């Protein structure tokens, strides 16, 4: 079985290395010559990982023909690039692939989930099914083989089992799931909540505040995900609370770090002027804000993080406004 990983960034490399450890035939495809060269020549991806020597079987290429005889393709580029990568590779595919989505967010124009974006852009004769491989997993830890659990979520149970077996080993345990809507909305929304968690930390608030943010953030994720057709119990698993915790609390999270900078400067301007990293939660906050307004879903944290990011609201004022809303029953 030949696997190609589209995306030579941090998560693409970490996932490809898991396959090398599992003795699976894998190749990384990327469009950044420096990253490709670093992987092939130095066994490193220095842009993302300091002092990590990658598995020596890990190889990368910029040649699109690598997709020609692929059986499985992993999509591990930022969500804004998924559609264009699908369109580039579809004419090259010759087999019916299992498409594995590892990205977390929504399409930039249609606001659609990643599985739907892949289904819309890989022709039917080239697609067996889509499996989303998602959960609480910072690349920086997977690449040094720290114990991690994620979930292979698909409407196709057999293909989910194939992906589960391919990636599982003694440091990465893969569960299965079938709630595509719940899982994909969960992992997207947690990024926006993680930006808020960083903002609060940057403003100087502590553990009580973070626990409150995670708990009430989860309530918003459930409200939104269930309104979209997801199942409430999914949010109690890897792609809900699991991914929310790791992203809201980790120094590795780019979403948390972006929020932290905003909180520290008490303004989103610093982020907009300086950011060069993949921070999916920033655009997700806008998508969720817009959809929630359209559908009448109550999302107070998303509302405030949207105002901080897009309306230059003072983050301290946002935190105060969240605290001083009308008092209510917790479970409503
Ligand atoms: N990093 C992590 O820990 C995790 C990330 N994810 C998700 O994975 C997705 C990818 O993120 P991540 O790997 O972290 O991001 P990175 O910023 O680390 O890497 C993104 C990679 O995609 C490349 N890329 C961008 N556009 C294209 C394109 N059109 N064709 C080919 N390659 C392209 C970038 O190239 P260039 O360098 O030239 O821009 C870069 O190599 C995101 O949705 C993220 O949320 C999910 C779980 C964990
Ligand atoms: O999705 C992730 C962890 O599960 C990565 O989070 P960041 O994109 O915030 O770094």
Per-residue model confidence as pLDDT tens digits over 278-316: 999 999 999 999 999 999 999 999 999 999 999 999 999
Å from CA of 212 to ligand 2 middle: 20
What is the C-alpha to C-alpha distance for residues 155 and 68, in angstroms, rounded to an integer? 25
Same domain, 137 and 264: no
Give yes or no: 95 in active site: no
Same domain, 54 and 138: yes
What is the C-alpha to C-alpha distance for residues 290 and 284, in angstroms, rounded to an integer? 10
Q: Can you give the pTM of this predicted structure?
A: 0.98
Ligand 1 pocket mutation pick from 6, 76, 84 by most atoms within 8 angstroms of CB: 76
Q: Is 95 annotated as a binding residue?
A: no
Ligand 2 binding pocket includes 190 (Cβ within 6 Å): no
Ligand 2 binding pocket includes 129 (Cβ within 6 Å): no
Å from CA of 137 to ligand 2 middle: 7
Measured from the Cβ of residue 61, the count of other Cβ atoms closer than 10 Å reads 16
The burial of 206, by beta-carbon neighbours within 10 Å (0-12 exposed, 13-18 middle, 19 or more buried), is given as: exposed
Ligand 1 binding pocket includes 84 (Cβ within 6 Å): yes
Q: Given 155, 177, 199, which residue is the final one in a domain?
A: 177
Å from CA of 4 to ligand 2 middle: 22
pLDDT at 210: 98
Q: Given 121, 146, 177, which residue is the final one in a domain?
A: 177
Same domain, 74 and 207: no
What is the C-alpha to C-alpha distance for residues 309 and 59, in angstroms, rounded to an integer? 39
Give the chain's domain count: 2
Conformation bin of residue 297: beta by default, left when phi > 0, alpha when psi is -120 to 50 = beta
pLDDT < 50: residue spans in the chain: none
Identified catalytic residue from 2, 95, 165, 190: 190
pLDDT at 332: 83
Q: Is 137 annotated as a binding residue?
A: yes
Domain assignment of residue 157, yes or no? yes
Ligand 1 binding pocket includes 26 (Cβ within 6 Å): no
Å from CA of 75 to ligand 1 middle: 9
The model's pLDDT over 78-131, given as tens digits with 9 standing for 90+, comes to 999 999 999 999 999 999 999 999 999 999 999 999 999 999 999 999 999 999
Q: Given 154, 177, 200, which residue is the final one in a domain?
A: 177
pLDDT at 12: 98
Q: Is 174 helix (H, G, I), strand (E, B) or coil?
A: strand
């Amino acid at each position: 079985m030949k696997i190609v990983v589209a995306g030579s960034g941090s998560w693409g490399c970490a996932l490809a290395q898991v396959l090398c450890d599992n003795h699976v035939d894998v190749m990384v495809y990327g469009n950044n010559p420096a990253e490709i060269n670093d992987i092939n020549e130095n066994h490193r991806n220095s842009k993302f990982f300091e002092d990590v020597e990658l598995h020596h079987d890990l190889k990368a290429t910029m040649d699109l023909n690598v997709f020609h005889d692929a059986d499985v393709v992993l999509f591990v580029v930022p969500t804004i690039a998924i559609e264009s990568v699908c369109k580039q590779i579809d004419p090259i595919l010759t087999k019916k692939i299992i498409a594995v989505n590892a990205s977390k967010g929504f399409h930039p124009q249609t606001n659609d989930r990643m599985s739907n974006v892949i289904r819309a852009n890989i022709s039917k004769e080239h697609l067996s099914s889509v499996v989303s491989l998602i959960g609480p997993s910072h690349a920086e830890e997977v690449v040094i083989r720290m114990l991690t659990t994620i979930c292979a979520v698909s409407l196709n149970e057999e293909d989910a089992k194939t992906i589960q077996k391919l990636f599982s080993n003694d440091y990465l345990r893969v569960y299965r799931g079938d709630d595509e809507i719940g899982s994909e909305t969960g992992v997207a929304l947690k990024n926006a909540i993680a930006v808020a968690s960083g903002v609060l930390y940057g403003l100087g608030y502590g553990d009580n505040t973070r626990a409150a943010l995670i708990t009430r953030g989860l309530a918003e994720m459930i409200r939104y995900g269930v309104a979209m057709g997801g199942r409430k119990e999914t949010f109690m698993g890897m792609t809900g609370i699991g991914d929310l915790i790791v992203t809201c609390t980790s120094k590795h999270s780019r979403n948390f770090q972006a929020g932290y900078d905003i909180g520290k400067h008490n303004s989103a301007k610093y982020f907009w002027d300086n950011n060069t990293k993949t921070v999916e939660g920033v655009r997700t906050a806008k998508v969720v804000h817009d959809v929630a307004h359209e559908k009448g879903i109550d999302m107070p944290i998303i509302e405030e993080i949207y105002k901080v990011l897009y309306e230059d609201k003072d983050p301290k004022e946002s935190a105060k406004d969240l605290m001083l809303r009308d008092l209510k029953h917790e479970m409503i």
